[in-house]
Amino acid sequence: MVGSAVLLLGLVPVVLCQAEFAPPTVNISLDVDPEVRWMPLLEVFDVDYLKKAAAEVIDSTVPKWVHHAVEPVVMALEKYVPQPYAGEIRGMASYMGGSLSDVIILNFAYEITAFCTSIVAQDKNGHVYHGRNLDYPHPVLRNLTVNIIFLKNGEVAYRGTSFAGYVGLWTGQSPNKFTVSGDQRGYNSNILFQLAGEGDFQDAVIRLSKIPIITGVYYIVGGVRAGEGAVITRDRVGPADIWPLDPVNGGWYRVETNFDHWLPPPSWDHRREAANKALNATGQDNINMDTLYQASVDQSTPITVYTTTMSAAAPERYNTLVRPQVITLCLKCICLHSQFLS
């Protein structure tokens, strides 16, 4: 008799033997012409790798057969990209050796596929902390993550975390003024720091609430003083809702994912609840940069690319770490054949 045992295993998430790591940092000077401003990227990224990775992101966002069809549309759109971003995109295309339309599509791709969680929290002493997970369904972005220090007159104007080839910023801080992250609410053309301006927390909240944008977005903003933290829910013309910290009444943190905070999230999305649970477990007595990082990591998803923690009053503690890649192995077809004689 021949016996055969079939072992069925489900989908097993496996963390590869790769640790979290800090992305490279580049200095980008705003005093330099937009078309050459991003050249320093090539000091930390290999051009061939950049091209390959960009092609992967584009192909997984825009199907190949649509790609050529959209080219004329994309080129027409270029007229509507405001300066200095149009110049920056043109420059990026020239030194990445790609076509201009590809770099524009890449910038759109970075904007339309982002899912995020942002947290702003205040400790018992009034220190405000800001955490965020950036989720993207493209594993290759782990290797494109980059910290950018924007310099103006040789001073740090703001810093943030982005992806090589993208001229916008979803996560960043203006030192000793405010921290800000954007979470997608439908499609969004997000040019965070142009919108946020150069003032303090109050100015940033007012500007981020009012300036017309292409569609909705959530802006999560933290300041330097107690009580300075808010989630701004935006529609195209103005604020749909502003949800400030309210520590006196127990509101010592605010969590925003990609759904309006006053509505329940879809049943398949547990990120908000996971974050609330992690923060409740941490408690206001114990919240700080390290515990906020841990709480963010605890509720990261398999597609979380990076986690950032920051605090406007302590700009030197800005920290971004790229999450290890989690791959889902299909093990359901492992068959153990055991033969034995009777």
- The binding site for ligand NAG (CB under 6 A) comprises 27, 139-140, 142-143, 149, 151, 154, 156, 250, 273, 276-277, 280
What is the C-alpha to C-alpha distance for residues 322 and 132, in angstroms, rounded to an integer? 12
Residue 151 beta carbon to ligand NAG: minimum distance, rounded to whole angstroms: 6
**Least distance (Å) between residue 156 CB and ligand NAG:** 6
Q: How far is the CB of 26 from ligand NAG (least distance, A)?
A: 7
Report the distance separating Cα 314 and Cα 312, nearest Å. Answer: 5
Least Cβ distance, residue 329 to ligand NAG (angstroms)? 16
Options 116, 330, 333, 335, the catalytic residue: 116
Long-range pairs for 329-337 at CB < 8 Å and ≥24 separation? 329/11, 329/12, 329/13, 329/14, 330/11, 331/9, 331/10, 331/11, 331/12, 332/8, 332/9, 332/10, 332/11, 334/7, 334/9, 335/4, 335/6, 335/7, 336/5, 336/6, 336/7, 337/4, 337/5
Beta bridge partners of 285: none
Nearest-angstrom CA–CA distance, 136 and 142: 10
Q: Which is nearer to ligand NAG, 8 or 316 (CB)?
A: 316
Q: How far is the CB of 286 from ligand NAG (least distance, A)?
A: 14
Q: Which residue is it, tokens 């999560």?
A: 220
CA-to-CA distance for 164 and 54, rounded, in angstroms?
9
Nearer to ligand NAG, 165 or 223 (CB): 165
330 is annotated as an active-site residue:
no
Our CB check for ligand NAG shows the closer of 132 and 142 to be 142
26 or 74: CB nearest ligand NAG: 26
d(CA 295, CA 297): 6
Taking the least distance from each CB to ligand NAG, the nearer of 235 and 273 is 273
Catalytic residues: 116
